[in-house]
Amino acid sequence: MKKIILLLSLLIIANSTFSQKKPYVIYNSKGKKVSYQKMKKTLQKQDIILFGELHNNPISHWLQYEVTSDLHKTRKLILGAEMFEADNQEFLNDYVTKNISYPELDSLARLWSNYKTDYAPLVDFAKAHQLQFIATNIPRRYANLVYKKGFNSLDSLSTKDKEWIAPLPISFDSELPTYKKILEEMGDHGSPELVKAQAMKDATMAHFILNNYKKGSLFLHYNGAYHSDYYEGILWYLKKEKEDFKYVTISTVSQDEVDKLLKTNYGKADFIICVDSDMTTTY
């Protein structure tokens, strides 16, 4: 991780020195610039944080690590991520508690292809500090089942299999703007079942976040920005169960110019990390 942070630091310095362009700027929901320190001060006071990333964006991953490291100094953390499916929790536990090696984790769990560069630093942080790391996502085979046949297809799962998904039946609002946008963006390839599969992922992540939350702790969850943008997705399900918790969302966007947040990106989250579109990607 130190090598990744050093590389990013050099990239940021080089970017600033030669082009006078900032690689990223943090904004609040209304498009006002916010310092990292001010954002951190707010984050320290929460119960649950949803950190929305662009999966291939190095600034997202770097700041996830920085936020995690900084919050760990003052709060008892529980970490969790979309990038791990719930039925892989045992393997993740064994790795974090040093009962299995990375090669064993890699062979047992369904790790994302960019795990080594983007998520290993976070999991290794949990391992180094003996923090819980929760696999929150629905196993993809069940999400695919919903995509093909709808919610009712999950009713036939065994009691054991249902342990890896949100309790059925889940609430579902097809009129939520982010779900409607999925259909618009997918065009002829979109379907009501595709949106239901997205909702099933959101509901399952919310379920495992709340199921593993402990009073007095701060649950820091890493997920694709679309799963929590505009205070919908995961957050919609969280609030249905625990309205009184303190929640904060972070999103990541990419723009050609970062000195002014585009109006289309207003309101995506409490804090919006605006990254220069020239920034290199991790894949």
The tens digit of pLDDT for each residue in 14-54 reads 454 445 678 999 999 999 999 999 999 999 999 999 999 99
Average pLDDT value for residue range 164-190? 91
Q: Is residue 149 part of a domain?
A: yes
Beta bridge partners of 134: 80
Number of folded domains that form the chain? 1
Q: Is residue 135 part of a domain?
A: yes
How far the first Cα of the chain sits from its last, in Å, is 17
6 phi, psi to nearest 5 deg: -60, -45
Nearest by Cα to 106 from 126, 120, 121, 87: 120
pTM of the predicted model as reported, rounded to 2 decimal places: 0.92
Residues ≥6 apart with Cβ < 8 Å to 15? 21, 22, 23, 276
Q: Is residue 12 part of a domain?
A: no
Q: Is residue 167 part of a domain?
A: yes
Q: Is residue 161 part of a domain?
A: yes
Q: Is residue 260 part of a domain?
A: yes
pLDDT the model gives residue 189? 74
| pLDDT tens string 224-257 | 999 999 999 999 999 999 999 999 999 999 999 9
| pLDDT tens string 53-77 | 999 999 999 999 999 999 999 999 9
> In the predicted model, is pLDDT for residue 125 greater than 60?
yes
Which CATH number belongs to the domain containing residue 54 in this structure?
A: 3.40.50.11550
Q: Is residue 52 part of a domain?
A: yes
| pLDDT tens string 134-147 | 999 999 999 999 99
Q: 14-18, 79-83, 108-112, 215-219: which range is least confident on average?
A: 14-18
Residues ≥6 apart with Cβ < 8 Å to 96? 123, 126, 127, 130, 131, 132, 133
Residues ≥6 apart with Cβ < 8 Å to 215? none
Beta bridge partners of 253: 274
Secondary structure of 32-78 as H, E, C letters:
CECCHHHHHHHHCCCCEEEEEECCCCHHHHHHHHHHHHHHHCCCCEE
Q: What range does the domain containing 37 cover?
A: 23-276
> In the predicted model, is pLDDT for residue 3 greater than 90?
no
Q: Is residue 14 part of a domain?
A: no
pLDDT the model gives residue 13? 46
